[in-house]
């Protein structure tokens, strides 16, 4: 694999004229000047929404709300429930524990990011915001991503259809006409993938999956939306210059995620990956490895054991600051595990060599 040194174009001038995006289709063209992001507390999902706003020129003119589930203890086993049901269950069990000092239930909220620690996204509040400011600012763009945001986003559209434009990112697995626009990766649109159809029982497909082909308000993307662009890479290159300017080149960055339902792997992948990395060390100036919070300890232990003492290899220990942006800006090539479309999309957006790595 031939590797080339980093060459980033200059970011757009801050003083350059940028048109306000016009994404509303109506009798009168309506300009979007402000936006609301509804997130679920997971950086990957929220980056989808912020990436879209960045592309629209609205990254500095938006509000962030979050829909969060109760976490910790037994709650970690209940994420398969619909959000509203999960919250009711959490409330009932919490009330029971309050009146029963001898309760033998598992703890419900031991996680520091529990339900009460984050301001919740409220459909009525956001609708009132749209009504109060519509005359002066125009319609409100609402961008939501993730399964737990679906009910809030669709409620906002139902309560104020003429005051908002609602974009749902990722397939909502429900009636698509509840949103003005649905943006979903090609692989996530089940009717277009035979493998996806096999995951849904045949008698349920007509309710769970949309009709094929998608209509005009469904936008299919090759990868995941993200917030990486030339301007952010240029800024990161400057920020991390002291760390990476003297790193031996070419620099290979390895991003390791964790197994998922659709991408299963274990210690065999870690051993195979370690062997492959050892085989290319001779052609690399340096290698930097990062794990995600989903990486099983047994996988990371194998990588650290096999590569941790090599002078060409640096393994991030998980402590701040996170070097992700520095890696994206300065790497000459990437190796990315195939469990995360977001990680792959971010690496590909740099324009440099990206190898998707997975274990079958």
Q: Say if residue 41's pLDDT is above 70.
A: yes
Q: What is the DSSP letter of 322?
A: P
DSSP per residue over 77-88, as a string? G-TTS-HHHHHH
Q: In the beta sheet, which residues pair with residue 64?
A: 37
CATH code: domain 230-357 is 3.40.50.2000
**Span 156-172, pLDDT tens digits:** 999 999 999 999 998 88
Domain ranges of the chain: 28-68+115-221, 230-357
φ, ψ dihedrals at 174, nearest 5°: -155, -170
The class (CATH top level) of 28-68+115-221 is: alpha beta
Question: Would you state the structure tokens that stand for residue 168, as one six-digit string?
Answer: 């749902």
User: Computed from CA positions of residues 93, 85, 152, 72, in that sequence, does the dihedral angle turn out positive or negative?
Assistant: positive
Residue 262 C-alpha from the chain's centroid: 17
* Percent of the chain residues topping a pLDDT of 90: 40
* pLDDT on residue 259: 86
Q: How far apart are CA 286 and CA 251, in angstroms?
A: 5
Q: In the beta sheet, which residues pair with residue 145?
A: 169
Q: Say if residue 8's pLDDT is above 50.
A: no
Length of the chain measured in residues: 360
Cα distances (angstroms) measured from residue 110 to each of 76, 94, 117, 224, 277? 11, 12, 12, 32, 39
Same fold, 28-68+115-221 and 230-357: yes
């Amino acid at each position: 694999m031939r590797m080339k040194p980093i060459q980033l174009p200059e970011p757009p001038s801050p003083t350059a004229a940028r048109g306000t995006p016009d994404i509303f289709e109506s009798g009168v063209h309506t300009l979007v000047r402000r936006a609301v992001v509804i997130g679920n507390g997971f950086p990957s999902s929220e980056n989808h929404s912020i990436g879209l706003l960045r592309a629209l020129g609205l990254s500095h003119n938006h509000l962030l709300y979050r829909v969060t589930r109760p976490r910790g203890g037994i709650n970690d086993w209940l994420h398969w429930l619909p959000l509203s049901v999960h919250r009711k269950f959490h409330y009932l069990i919490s009330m029971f524990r309050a009146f029963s000092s001898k309760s033998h239930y598992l703890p419900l909220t031991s996680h520091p990011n529990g339900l009460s620690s984050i301001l919740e996204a409220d459909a009525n509040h956001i609708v009132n915001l749209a009504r109060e400011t519509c005359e002066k600012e125009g319609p409100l763009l609402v961008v939501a991503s993730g399964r737990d945001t679906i009910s809030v986003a669709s409620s906002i559209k139902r309560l104020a259809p003429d005051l908002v434009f609602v974009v749902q990112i990722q397939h909502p697995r429900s009636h698509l006409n509840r949103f003005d626009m649905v943006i979903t990766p090609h692989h996530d649109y089940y009717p277009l993938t035979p493998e996806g159809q096999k995951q849904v029982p045949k008698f349920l497909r007509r309710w769970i999956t949309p009709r094929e082909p998608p209509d005009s308000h469904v936008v299919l993307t090759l990868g995941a939306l993200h917030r990486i662009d030339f301007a952010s890479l240029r800024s990161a290159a400057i920020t991390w210059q002291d760390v990476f300017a003297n790193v031996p080149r070419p620099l290979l960055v390895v991003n390791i995620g964790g197994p998922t339902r659709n991408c299963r792997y274990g210690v065999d992948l870690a051993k195979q990956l370690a062997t492959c990395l050892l085989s290319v060390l001779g052609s690399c100036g340096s290698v930097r490895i990062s794990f995600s919070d989903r990486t099983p300890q047994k996988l990371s232990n194998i990588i650290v054991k096999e590569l941790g003492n090599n002078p060409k290899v640096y393994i991030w220990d998980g402590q701040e600051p996170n070097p992700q942006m520095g890696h994206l800006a300065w790497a000459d090539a990437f190796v990315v595990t195939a469990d995360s479309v977001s990680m792959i999309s971010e690496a590909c957006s740099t324009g440099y060599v990206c190898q998707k790595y997975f274990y079958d």
